[in-house]
Amino acid sequence: MAFGKGRGNKRSSTTSYASTITMVIFVALCVIGVWMLSSNSVIPPQITGASTRTAIAETERSDVVSASSNGNDEPEPTKPESDDQPAFEDNPGKLPDDAVKSEDEQQKSAIEKSDKTSQAKKFPEAGEGGKQSQKETQKQEIQQNNEKFPEEKEKDNDKENKAVQENGEGQMKQVVKEFEKEQKKQRDEDAGTQSGNSKGTQEQQEQGQGKESQDVEQGKKQGQDQDSNADVTFTDATKEEQPMEVGQSDTSENSKNEANGQQQQEDQHSGKEETGQQNEENIEENGKDQKSMKDENGQQDEHNTTEDESGSKEEHSMTTKDENVEQQEEKKDEKRQEGSEAGGFGSGIPKESAESQKSWKSQATESKDEKQRQTSESNNADSIMGGKTWVLCNATAGPDYIPCLDNEEAIRKLTSRRHFEHRERHCPEDPPTCLVSLPEGYKESIKWPESRDKIWYHNVPHTKLAEVKGHQNWVKVTGEFLTFPGGGTQFIHGALHYIDFLQQSLKNIAWGKRTRVVLDVGCGVASFGGFLFERDVIAMSLAPKDEHEAQVQFALERKIPAISAVMGSKRLPFPSRVFDLIHCARCRVPWHIEGGMLLLELNRMLRPGGYFVWSATPVYQKLEEDVQIWKAMSALTKSMCWELVTINKDKLNGIGAAIYQKPATNECYEKRKQNKPPMCKNNDDANAAWYVPLQACMPKVPTNVVERGSKWPVNWPRRLQTPPYWLNSSQMGIYGKPAPRDFTTDYEHWKHVVSKVYMNEIGISWSNVRNVMDMRAVYGGFAAALKDLQVWVMNVVNINSPDTLPIIYERGLFGIYHDWCESFSTYPRSYDLLHADHLFSKLKARCNLAPVMAEVDRIVRPGGKLIVRDESNVIREVENMLKSLHWDVHLTFSKHQEGILSAQKGFWRPDTSQ
User: pLDDT of 89-109, one tens digit each?
Assistant: 333 333 334 333 444 444 544
Q: What average pLDDT does range 599-625 have in this prediction?
A: 95
- pLDDT in the model for residue 161: 46
pLDDT for 221 beyond 80: no
Q: What is the pLDDT of residues 672-693, one digit of tens each?
A: 998 899 999 988 899 999 999 9
Q: What is the pLDDT of residues 479-514, one digit of tens each?
A: 999 998 876 667 878 899 999 999 999 999 999 999
Whole-Å CA distances, 529 to 15, 573, 589: 112, 19, 19
**Cα 762 to Cα 171: distance, rounded to the nearest angstrom:** 9
If one counts every other C-beta atom within 10 angstroms of the C-beta of residue 408, the result is 12
| Of 254 and 866, the one with more pLDDT | 866
511: DSSP letter? B
Among 305-309, 428-432, 813-817, whose mean pLDDT is lowest?
A: 305-309
**Cα 501 to Cα 503: distance, rounded to the nearest angstrom:** 5
Among 8-17, 93-102, 403-412, 454-463, whose mean pLDDT is lowest?
A: 93-102
Q: Band of the pLDDT at 457, cuts 50, 70, 90?
A: very high
List CB contacts of 381: < 8 A, sequence separation 6 or more: 848, 849, 850, 877, 881
| Of 765 and 33, the one with more pLDDT | 765
- pLDDT in the model for residue 4: 40
The SS3 call for residue 563 is: strand
Residue 459 backbone dihedrals phi, psi, to 5 degrees: -75, -35
Q: How many CA atoms lie within 13 A of 740 on its CB side?
A: 9
Residue 405 backbone dihedrals phi, psi, to 5 degrees: -110, -15
Angle at 358 between CA 356 and CA 364, to 5 degrees: 105
Among 3-12, 416-425, 721-730, 751-760, whose mean pLDDT is lowest?
A: 3-12
Q: Is the entire prediction scored with pTM above 0.85? A: no
Q: Is 693 exposed, middle or buried (0-12, 13-18, 19+ CB in 10 A)?
A: exposed
In the chain, residues under CATH classification 3.40.50.150 are: 490-671, 717-905
Among 220-229, 341-350, 427-436, 617-626, whose mean pLDDT is lowest?
A: 220-229
Strands 655-661, 606-614: pairing kind: antiparallel
Give the residues across from 245 on adjacent strands. Answer: 892
> Which segment, 186-195, 376-385, 386-395, 882-891, is predicted with the most confidence on average?
882-891
pLDDT for 448 beyond 70: yes
- pLDDT in the model for residue 365: 66
- pLDDT in the model for residue 472: 67
- pLDDT in the model for residue 492: 78
pLDDT for 884 beyond 60: yes
Element (H, E) at 890: strand 888-895
Residue 832 backbone dihedrals phi, psi, to 5 degrees: -85, -25
Q: What average pLDDT does range 132-151 have in this prediction?
A: 48
**Cα 912 to Cα 25: distance, rounded to the nearest angstrom:** 92
List CB contacts of 815: < 8 A, sequence separation 6 or more: 774, 777, 780, 794, 795, 796, 797, 805, 808, 809
> 488, 524 in Cβ contact below 8 A?
yes
> Omega of the bond prior to 802 within 30 degrees of 0, cis?
no
Q: Which amino acid is at 287?
A: G
294: DSSP letter? B
Whole-Å CA distances, 845 to 228, 334, 362, 374, 545: 30, 28, 17, 12, 32
Q: What is the mean pLDDT of the chain?
A: 73
If one counts every other C-beta atom within 10 angstroms of the C-beta of residue 136, the result is 10
| Of 407 and 219, the one with more pLDDT | 407
- pLDDT in the model for residue 705: 85
Which of 523, 445, 400 has the alpha carbon at shortest distance from 825? 400
> 803, 575 in Cβ contact below 8 A?
yes
Element (H, E) at 8: helix 2-39
Q: How many CA atoms lie within 13 A of 741 on its CB side?
A: 16
pLDDT for 804 beyond 80: yes
Which of 802, 814, 639, 848 has the alpha carbon at shortest distance from 716? 814
**Cα 767 to Cα 181: distance, rounded to the nearest angstrom:** 27
Element (H, E) at 554: helix 551-557
Q: What is 490-671's CATH superfamily?
A: Vaccinia Virus protein VP39 (3.40.50.150)
- pLDDT in the model for residue 481: 95
| Of 794 and 470, the one with more pLDDT | 794
| Of 423 and 280, the one with more pLDDT | 423
Q: What is the pLDDT of residues 634-674, one digit of tens each?
A: 999 999 999 999 999 998 888 999 999 999 999 999 999 98
> 324, 379 in Cβ contact below 8 A?
no
Q: Which amino acid is at 506?
A: L
| Of 520 and 203, the one with more pLDDT | 520
Q: What average pLDDT does range 801-826 have in this prediction?
A: 96
Among 59-73, 419-433, 771-785, 827-841, whose mean pLDDT is lowest?
A: 59-73
Q: What is the pLDDT of residues 21-43, one digit of tens each?
A: 878 888 888 888 777 776 544 44
List CB contacts of 63: < 8 A, sequence separation 6 or more: 75, 78, 95, 99, 100
Q: What average pLDDT does range 151-169 have in this prediction?
A: 48
Q: Which CATH architecture has domain 717-905?
A: 3-Layer(aba) Sandwich (3.40)
Whole-Å CA distances, 653 to 420, 486, 489, 621: 32, 13, 9, 13
| Of 672 and 82, the one with more pLDDT | 672
Q: What is the pLDDT of residues 280-292, one digit of tens each?
A: 444 444 444 443 4
**Cα 864 to Cα 852: distance, rounded to the nearest angstrom:** 17
Angle between helices 305-319 and 169-190 (to 10 degrees): 10
Q: What average pLDDT does range 221-250 have in this prediction?
A: 38
The SS3 call for residue 320 is: coil
Q: Band of the pLDDT at 388, cuts 50, 70, 90?
A: low
Q: Band of the pLDDT at 371, cuts 50, 70, 90?
A: very low
| Of 837 and 63, the one with more pLDDT | 837
**Cα 434 to Cα 451: distance, rounded to the nearest angstrom:** 29
pLDDT for 370 beyond 80: no
Q: What average pLDDT does range 846-857 have in this prediction?
A: 96
**Cα 599 to Cα 855: distance, rounded to the nearest angstrom:** 33
Q: What is the pLDDT of residues 331-368, one digit of tens each?
A: 555 444 444 443 344 445 556 666 666 667 777 766 65
- pLDDT in the model for residue 530: 95
Which of 472, 518, 515 has the alpha carbon at shortest distance from 494? 472
If one counts every other C-beta atom within 10 angstroms of the C-beta of residue 660, the result is 22
pLDDT for 323 beyond 90: no
**Cα 556 to Cα 567: distance, rounded to the nearest angstrom:** 20
Q: What average pLDDT does range 393-421 have in this prediction?
A: 93
Q: What share of the chain is helix, strand, coil (3-state, %, to 5)?
A: 45, 15, 40
pLDDT for 220 beyond 90: no
